[in-house]
Amino acid sequence: MIPPGETIGILGGGQLGRMIAMAAAQLGYRCHTYAPEPDSIAADVCGAFTCANWDDAEAMASFAADCAVVTYEFENVPVAPLAGIAPVPVLAHPRALEVAQDRLAEKVFVSGLGGRPAPFAKVDNDADLAAAIARIGTPGILKTRRDGYDGKGQWRIMQPGDVDGLDLPTTPLIYEGFVDFRAEFSVLLCRGQDGDIRFWDTPENVHKGGILSTSTVPGSALVQGEVAEARALAAKVAEALDYVGVLTLEFFATEDGPVFNEMAPRVHNSGHWTIEGAITSQFENHVRAICGLPLGDTSLAARGVVMNNLIGDDAHDWAQILSDPANHLHLYGKAAARPGRKMGHVTRLILE
């Protein structure tokens, strides 16, 4: 067990790291963030900040020497440099990053545990793409296997001719068949070092332009009917990885049951509502888990919750948002708004 007063290292300098650090401070921990970008919004609320490239072995070792445990706030942290952190524990274990960073490896892994993703095929060249489209059919979506997020690195293929003239990267790709879904939802869990697993209520999510727009708890009857099966898979994933901390799996709700979309080995945007909407937030429970503390109650703190992301210029409406006293506003401290950039979120509790 890591007692309050020790330092938690956070790899990554964005809003998730910022909210982890704020929850850690409430429990008496100090945080030290490490990120390559000098304009880290997580660093604004941390006691120390190392700005260095991921492959800077000396900087990584110095950072680790200041920490009792290290965690990460996004899944694209390179795995190889983390060897230099030993013997300081990295939680969740980097094997979760290895699975989540490659969409093909992720789908193979989840399929092996009994999960049901959309039909998929590896694409390394034009011949692979043609074969994938012939086998899976259209419509479908072509994605980079690594580094894509919020709709980036994706191309919709509505008919076979759509591939003509595409300026595709030379990196490995994956082709996925479209899923005829009725809703989207995510399963958020926290697993402690003792194997204890707690689930939050399942939010139903709406995306716009590939970016999460709203999360609503509780979800529709269709979503609620698929939660048990989705949770069972999420627990299998957590146990197979010997996972510690918050883990998120995203699903499509279909007439035939939940279809796995992707996993995020970290706290997640669709769980931001838990700050006000649950007895214990995802951020606090993540800190509890990686420090070996007992997990907190994940029950709802209200009858329901709605969380809205503030994207781009939406954050400029902060005065109007705060004119409604029931709104809980979170701004991330980012200096400049731009289209598609997450600037903050608003949570509203449903009490009656």
Using one digit for the tens of pLDDT, what is the confidence trace for 213-253? 999 999 999 999 999 999 999 999 999 999 999 999 999 99
Which residues, 6 or more positions from 83, have their beta carbon under 8 angstroms from its beta carbon? Answer: none
Measured distance CA(248)–CA(205) in Å, rounded: 13
Phi-psi region at 35: left, alpha or beta (left = phi > 0; alpha = psi -120 to 50): beta
Give the residue from 301, 258, 294 showing the smallest Cα distance to 278. 301
| Residue 263 backbone phi and psi in degrees, to 5 | -115, 155
Q: Is the peptide bond before 92 cis (omega within 30 degrees of 0)?
A: yes
Measured distance CA(201)–CA(227) in Å, rounded: 9
In angstroms and rounded to an integer, the radius of gyration of the C-alpha atoms of the chain is: 20
| DSSP 8-state code for residue 162 | G
For tokens 């009490």, name the residue. 351
Q: First vs last Cα of the chain: how many Å apart?
A: 40
What local confidence, expressed as pLDDT, does residue 169 receive?
Answer: 75
- Say if CB 81 and CB 138 are below 8 A apart: no
Measured distance CA(51)–CA(63) in Å, rounded: 10
pTM across the whole model: 0.95
pLDDT in tens, 276-303: 999 999 999 999 999 999 999 999 999 9
Collapsed DSSP state (helix, strand, coil) of residue 94: helix
What local confidence, expressed as pLDDT, does residue 21 receive?
Answer: 98
What local confidence, expressed as pLDDT, does residue 116 receive?
Answer: 97
The size of the chain, in residues, is 352
Which residues, 6 or more positions from 90, have their beta carbon under 8 angstroms from its beta carbon? Answer: 69, 70, 71, 72, 82
Q: Write the DSSP assignment of 72-109 as a string of letters.
A: ESSTTS-SGGGGGGTTS-BSS-HHHHHHHT-HHHHHHH
pLDDT at 28 over 60: yes
What local confidence, expressed as pLDDT, does residue 188 receive?
Answer: 98
Q: Does the CA dihedral 228-232-238-239 come out positive or negative?
A: positive
Phi-psi region at 292: left, alpha or beta (left = phi > 0; alpha = psi -120 to 50): left
Give, in order, the Cα–Cα distances in Å from 141 to each of 129, 145, 266: 11, 12, 25
pLDDT in tens, 126-162: 889 889 899 999 999 999 998 766 556 788 888 888 7
- Say if CB 82 and CB 90 are below 8 A apart: yes
Burial class (CB in 10 A: 0-12, 13-18, 19+), 126: exposed
- Say if CB 172 and CB 101 are below 8 A apart: no
Measured distance CA(163)–CA(82) in Å, rounded: 38
Dihedral in degrees, nearest 10, Cα atoms 161, 165, 170, 172: -20
Mean pLDDT for 180-186 is 96
- Say if CB 341 and CB 334 are below 8 A apart: yes
Domains and CATH numbers, the chain: 7-90 (3.40.50.20), 119-177 (3.30.1490.20), 183-350 (3.30.470.20)
Mean pLDDT over each residue of the chain, to the nearest integer: 94
